């Protein structure tokens, strides 16, 4: 094997149809970075979901004097509160039920909106209802059972499942993710066609050389290797661009997005590296296999 001969041939091939090569690299780069973005999205949504899944609770808000609910007749009595506490604790689906008094709730409220003091100042302690924060063993399955057990019980104002609030958020994220992946897949198809076309052009441009190579008994491997590597190298260059774009997406977009949430579910560097490596695998495989299949059609023995 004469490696510098092979590399010389690759260089000639890539240079001869430079425009096609550039187009190929750009399309591979964009499709891989979109695919990577989609994967990062998936990871982000997953990590957010697991984070919330462990945190999600049912909030059972109790009546106060200010409650407009007709079910409430003034503030909840200690007996009613005791009754709700026993109902909840006796249910097997409930992991824990913690009473949050008005004072505690107000403290938490002040903490959550600490960066907006003017808003905090408009809310009095008595405006915030006390509540039971109920933790479920299996939030998705058991929500209805637990919620119906306390809904309408004396002294209960309203029952709010945080899952229903999060569902909307998830649907948004899922939709965005699916859109990115669909576009990425379309681009992957475009990339495959472009690889096939580039290799075909390259094979056509060098049909004189390959004809002579066949004639003097060069092995198929030797004839096809420059073309194959041409595709793979273009794929790798595209991947390198995609990797840079992905690092940009992660550090600018996702990390910025992170600042809007008070909880930390950011993606680690390993997640990013994983996605980038996967993109490389996809890119090289895509270009390599397409080149190989194209060559089988255009460089027959």
Partner 1 sequence: MINFDNVTKIYPNQNRAALENVDLAVNKGEFVFLVGPSGSGKSTFLRLILKEERPSEGRIHVAGKDLARLTNWKVPHLRRRIGCVFQDFRLLPNKNVYQNVAFALEVIGKPRRFIRRVVPEVIDLVGLEGKHERMPDELSGGEQQRVAMARAFVNRPMILLADEPTGNIDPATSIGIMKVLDRINRTGTTVVMATHDAAIVDSMRKRVIELEYGKVVRDQVRGVYGQAY
**Nearest approach, Cβ of 291 to partner 1 (angstroms)?**
19
| C-alpha 215: how far from chain center | 53
Binding segment toward partner 1, per CB under 8 A, in 65-73, 220-228, 245-253, 287-295: 220-228
Q: Which is nearer to partner 1, 10 or 97 (CB)?
A: 10
Question: Does 296 engage in binding with partner 1 (CB under 8 A)?
Answer: no
Smallest separation, CB 3 to partner 1 (Å): 10
Select the residue interacting with partner 1 from 29, 146, 191, 213 (CB under 8 A): 213
- 168, 216, 259, 262: residue in contact with partner 1 (rule CB under 8 A): 216
User: Which of residues 269 and 301 has its CB atom nearest to partner 1 in the complex?
Assistant: 301
- The distance of closest approach from Cβ of residue 295 to partner 1 in the complex, given in angstroms and rounded to an integer, is 14
Question: Angle formed by the axes of helices 220-248 and 3-16, to 10°?
Answer: 60
Query: Based on CB atoms, which residue is closest to partner 1, 81 or 205?
Result: 205
Q: How far is the CB of 15 from partner 1 (least distance, A)?
A: 13
Q: Is 215 among the residues that bind partner 1 (CB under 8 A)?
A: yes
Contact call for residues 203 and 295 (beta carbons, < 8 A): yes
What is the residue-wise DSSP string for the chain?
--HHHHHHHHHHHHHHTHHHHHHHHHHHHHHHHHHHHHHHHHHHHHHHHHHHHHH-EEEEEEP-TT---TT--SSPPHHHHHHHHHHHHH-TTEEEEEEE-HHHHHHHHHHHTTT-HHHHHH--GGGSPPEEEEEESSHHHHHHHHHHHHTT-TTEEEEEEHHHHHHHHHHHHHHHHHHHHHHHHHHHHHHHHHHHHHHHHHHHHTHHHHHHHHHTT--HHHHHHHHHHHHHHHHHHHHHHHHHHHHHIIIIIIHHHHTT-SS--PPPHHHHHHHHHHHHHHHHHHHHHHHHHHHHHHS--
* Binds partner 1 by CB under 8 A, chosen from 26, 120, 183, 218: 218
Closest contact distance (angstroms) between CB of 10 and partner 1 is 14
269 binds partner 1 (CB under 8 A): no
Nearer to partner 1, 29 or 223 (CB): 223
Question: What's the CA gap between 163 and 126, in Å, rounded?
Answer: 27
Q: Which stretch binds partner 1 (CB under 8 A): 32-40, 66-74, 212-220, 250-258?
A: 212-220
CB 133 within 8 A of CB 161: no
Q: Under the criterion CB under 8 A, does residue 124 sit at the interface with partner 1?
A: no
**18 lies in the binding site for partner 1 (CB under 8 A):** no
The residue from 66, 113, 138, 211 that contacts partner 1 (CB under 8 A) is: 211
Question: What is the Cα–Cα distance from 164 to 192, expressed in whole angstroms?
Answer: 42
Kindly tell me which of 124 and 300 has the beta carbon lying closer to partner 1.
300
Of 108, 123, 212, 277, the one binding partner 1 (CB under 8 A) is: 212
Which of 209, 247, 278, 298 is the binder for partner 1 (CB under 8 A)? 209
Binding residues (CB under 8 A) for partner 1: these are 1-2, 5, 208-209, 211-220, 222-223, 301
């Amino acid at each position: 094997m004469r490696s510098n001969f092979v590399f010389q041939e690759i260089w000639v091939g890539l240079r001869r149809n430079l425009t096609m090569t550039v187009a190929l690299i750009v399309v591979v780069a964009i499709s891989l970075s979109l695919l990577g973005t989609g994967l990062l999205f998936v990871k982000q949504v997953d990590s957010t979901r697991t984070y919330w899944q462990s945190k999600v609770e049912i909030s059972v808000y109790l009546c106060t004097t200010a409650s407009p609910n007709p079910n409430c007749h003034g503030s909840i009595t200690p007996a009613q509160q005791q009754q709700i506490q026993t109902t909840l604790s006796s249910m097997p689906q409930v992991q824990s039920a913690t009473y949050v008094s008005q004072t505690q709730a107000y403290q938490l409220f002040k903490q959550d909106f600490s960066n907006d003091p003017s808003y905090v100042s408009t809310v009095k302690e008595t405006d915030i209802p006390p509540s039971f924060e109920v933790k479920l063993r299996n939030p998705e399955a058991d929500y209805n059972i637990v919620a119906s057990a306390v809904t309408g019980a004396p002294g209960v104002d309203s029952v709010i499942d945080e899952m229903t609030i999060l569902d909307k958020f998830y649907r948004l994220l899922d939709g965005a993710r699916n859109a990115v992946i669909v576009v990425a897949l379309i681009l992957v198809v475009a990339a495959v066609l472009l690889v096939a076309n580039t290799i075909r052009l390259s094979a056509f441009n060098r049909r004189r050389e390959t004809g002579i190579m066949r004639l003097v008994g060069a092995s198929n491997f030797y004839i096809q290797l420059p073309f194959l590597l041409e595709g793979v190298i273009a794929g790798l260059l595209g991947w390198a661009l995609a990797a840079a774009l992905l690092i940009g997406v992660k550090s600018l977009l996702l990390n910025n997005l992170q600042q809007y949430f008070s909880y930390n579910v950011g993606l680690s560097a390993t997640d990013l590296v994983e996605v980038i490596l996967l993109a490389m695998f996809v890119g090289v495989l895509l270009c390599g296999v397409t080149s190989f299949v194209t060559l089988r059609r255009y460089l027959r023995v």
